[in-house]
Structures are given as C-alpha cells and as structure tokens.
Structure 1
Amino acid sequence: MGTSVEQLQSQLQHLRLVETSSELPQLLRQAEASSWTYQELLHALLTYEESRREAKMIDKHLKWAKFPYQASLSAFDLTDQPSLSDRQLRQMQELTWLDQLYNLIFLGPPGVGKTHLAIGLGLEAIQQGHRVSFVSMGELVPMLKTEEYVKKAQVQMKRIRQADLVIIDDIMYMAMNEQEANLFFHLINHLYERSSIILTSNKGPEAWGELLGDQGITTAILDRLLHRSEVIHLHGDSHRMKHRETLF
C-alpha cells in the first residue's frame, strides 16, 4: 500500500520533526533526481533536521542574551587598539578560558572597544552552543533589587544565573549602597565556579572599594572574580571620537 507525501509529513510532525516535514517534498525531489540510496536520503533528512534545530537554538540564545547590538570579533579593528595583539584576540576567540571557567576583565577609558570585544566573544560563545547573558551594571542593580516581586526581573535573573557566560558591562560606573553591594556579592558568589564572567570597566579593581563602600564585600567579590581571571588593559583614543560623524 502506497503512502502519500502528506501522510509522511503528518508522521514527521507527530514525531516533532517539524522542520523536516516542511522540507520533505524538496528532499524527495533531490533524492529522485540524484538517485540517492535509502541511506543517503535518511542521512539528508536527519542532517537537515539537525541543522535547523541548531539554527533555531542559536536564534533563541541570541534573544536570551539581550545584546544591545551585535559586533563581531572580525569587525574589531586592532589598528585602533595597540595594546591588544592579533594572537591575544585569537586566543580569546578559541574560548578555552570559557571551558575552564576563567573570567575576563576589560579595563580602559570609554570608546576603546571594551563592549565590542565582550559582545564579540559572547556571539562566538553562542555559535559554539553556550548560553550567554549580557547586562549593563545600570540594568543589573534594579533587577537585583526588584527580583523578589517583579516577574520580569525574576525571568531575567534566572537566565543570568543559568548562563555559561555572563557579561556585565560598565561595572562600577556608579557607587552602590550597602544593600546593592550585598545583592551584587550574592550574584557573583552564585556564578563563582559555575559560569565565566566578562566585566568591562573604566576603573581598575583597586578603585572598586570606594564605590562599593564596604571593604569586606569588596574583598569577597574580588577574591571570586580574580581567582581565575585575565585582566586586559585597553588603551588608545576613543574609537567613537575618532570616527565621529557630524551633521555639517
């Protein structure tokens, strides 16, 4: 008894192979035109489903990451950043530090590419199957303070805590009170030995104590962040000012 293409598609949908179900007519035409064996057809079907699921997962992780914009590492101009070598950039791109739960700390004045590097590494991590979460310090503190009673903050903080890589942008750009510093410590303590962290800041760790206001909490945070970390100092002129556009 013959089986129609529609019946096969229905069976594939029942097995939750939705992507393959939609592509089945095209794959069958290719199989007939190229005289594929049964094994070749089965391989094509499974490969297509696998690739589509991977693409959908990457799209989902990109939405979860909440990058303010997308900036690839290939677009990072090393000529504008003399303090970073091509070899260093390629080593970071390999993500061995992420597998080993190392942290990266990018320090430098505004406009030298700290956020660009952080986002580029985050995009690379997503392409390699990792979960990434990006948040600025200005967004993070209100989320920590409202997590107990705001549903949106709960969802976002859950994703941050479950991420393989957490990027915190512009850390220590403003002073914290005792409650905020304590909440931030508990987050860092939770991520310690579970996730890698990328931090960007225009102030070095030696200045963080003044902004946190509590030397004990500062020491505890630094102890966890710097245990396994690479601190990268970026120098040079502001990229934004160098390439600024004017109306007239």
Structure 2
Amino acid sequence: MVDHDALMAMLTRLQLTAIRDQFDSLLDEAARREMTLREAVAFLCQREVARKDERRVEMASKIAHFPTMRDLDGFDFAAQPSLDKGQVRELAACRWVAHGDALLLLGPPGVGKTHLAIALGREAIREGYSVLFTAAPALVAALAKAHADGRLEERLAFYAKPKLLIIDELGYLPFEPNAAHLFFQLVSRRYERGSLLITSNRSVGEWGTVFGDPVVATAILDRLLHHSHVVTIRGDSYRLRKKRRAGLIKATLSPEQVA
C-alpha cells in the first residue's frame, strides 16, 4: 500500500501540483458528493487543468506587458450605453483573432478603450493565443530607434511574432513622417497574418492628420479595414464622471441651464 508521502512524491514528479496541494480537501469533496471512481478522477483532473490554465494565463499576461490587469466582468457597460455588450461578448470569443482580423476601438479619452483592449487581450490568452501590448508612442519610438541602428527588420519581426498585437493610444500624439512609414511597414508585415487591436481617440477620417501623411494613412487603413471590426464608444470619461460626483469639477451645463 502506498503511503501518503510516496503518493505526494509521485504527484510532484508528474507535476500534478493542484491535486497534490489540495489532495485531502478534494477527496473529502468527492466523498461528500458521492462520486464514483470515474467521476472522482475526472474531478481531480479538472482541478489540475484549471490550475495549469490559471498559471498559463498569468505567465502569458506578464509576457504581454499589460500595464494593468482588467477583465470584462469589471467593465461598466451601464455607463457606456453606446457600447453593444453583445458585440463585445462576441469579440471575447476571439474568432477575429483566429482569422487575423483587425479591431479598432475608437472614442474620446476615458471611455474605457484601454480597459476593453486589455480584457480582450486576456481573453485571447485564455484561448491560447500569444499577445503583446504596447502604447503607440513607445512602439513608434522603438521602430525609429531600430531603423537608426540598422535593426529595423529585427524589430519588425519582434512585433510581427505575437498572434495579437495591441497598440494603445494611437492619435494622442502626431507621428513624424518617417514614423508613419515605419508604422505602415509593421501593418503590412502583419496584414492577414496576425491580428491588430488599436485604440484611438481619433476617428479613422482623422488619421491622415495623426500620421502626418494622408497617402500613408490611406494605405494603412486600406489594410486595417479590409478584415476589421470597428467599435466606437460615445460617452463620458469615467475619470471626469468620478470627479463630478466628488464635486471636484462642475457638471456640464445644459443649453436650458445656460439660457
């Protein structure tokens, strides 16, 4: 008969650490629920798979370089009535990532674009896809430096590798002309190979100003919009709303109040 220590050693060797760490409580639960042997084995395996999935998501999230952790359950859909919750839940299934499509999240500052981008990125990780998150200014700076150092191909390959590349805050700062061409090379490299998720406070009609070159902007949008999903959020900033509630700033006056 195998004693407890020997059993724990075997579970450790097999890397079944969730079963090992919760062994007694799991067996007690299986007994309380009067599971058959087959059901108990399945129950133990489910707990082990859940632990491994949790650790995989945690590790992949670190590799993705998310600035913070967000999920869809924490998003206040009631505060953004212009946003179709059903559409977001459909996007969370990540079929668009599987197909290599682009997703544009557009709207004014503070409406939750970055929150959604991170949450959808984490859903992609749960589905087994590699993800990388970067702010647009940092991305452009990295491409420009690589170009100056003669290592642009290496940097483009780095950004082309993940199945989903999330580019946050496009449009907050205008691009230099050369940076726009570098961005175009990245979009072209990923076109129909890997998905892009871009958040921007500018409508696509304003991207010519953002990139400083309408021709380059058109070429970029031509590729992004070919296989794309566009979500536009029209609403108030969460941060401004909180400040209004706290009385730190005055609420916007209606035309009737102004009159």
Instruction: Write the mapping of 1:49-198 to structure 2, written as runs, cut at 5 A.
Output: 49-146=48-145, 158=158, 160-198=159-197
Deviation string 1:146-192 (CA, Å, 9 cap, x unpaired) is 4588xxxx89x84x533332221111322323442233223222322
Aligned CA distance change for structure 1 residues 243 and 27 (closer, same or farther; 3 Å): closer
Aligned CA distance change for structure 1 residues 11 and 70 (closer, same or farther; 3 Å): closer
Aligned CA distance change for structure 1 residues 11 and 79 (closer, same or farther; 3 Å): closer
Distance 2:25 2:74 in 1: 37
Instruction: Write the mapping of 1:203-222 to structure 2, written as runs, cut at 5 A.
Output: 203-222=202-221
Distance 1:164 1:25 in 2: 40
Aligned CA distance change for structure 1 residues 32 and 192 (closer, same or farther; 3 Å): same
List runs of 5+ in structure 1 lacking aligned partners.
Answer: none
Aligned CA distance change for structure 1 residues 105 and 40 (closer, same or farther; 3 Å): closer
Offset at residue 103 of structure 1 (A) = 1.7
List runs of 5+ in structure 2 lacking aligned partners.
Answer: 250-259
Root-mean-square deviation (Å): 3.3
Contact 2:106–2:233 (CA under 8 A) maintained in structure 1: yes
Distance 2:230 2:30 in 1: 54
Of 187-196 and 124-133, deviating more is 124-133
Contact 1:66–1:133 (CA under 8 A) maintained in structure 2: yes
Aligned CA distance change for structure 1 residues 34 and 69 (closer, same or farther; 3 Å): closer
> Which residue matches 2:11?
12
Contact 2:57–2:122 (CA under 8 A) maintained in structure 1: no
Deviation string 1:81-112 (CA, Å, 9 cap, x unpaired) is 34323443343344333333322212222122
Offset at residue 137 of structure 1 (A) = 0.8
Deviation string 1:20-40 (CA, Å, 9 cap, x unpaired) is 343445545666787765544
Offset at residue 201 of structure 1 (A) = 1.1
Identity of aligned residues (%): 37
Distance 1:247 1:22 in 2: 50
Instruction: Write the mapping of 1:11-50 to structure 2, written as runs, cut at 5 A.
Output: 11-27=10-26, 38-50=37-49
Offset at residue 63 of structure 1 (A) = 1.8
Normalised to the residue count of structure 1, the TM-score between the two structures is 0.78
> Which residue matches 1:242?
241
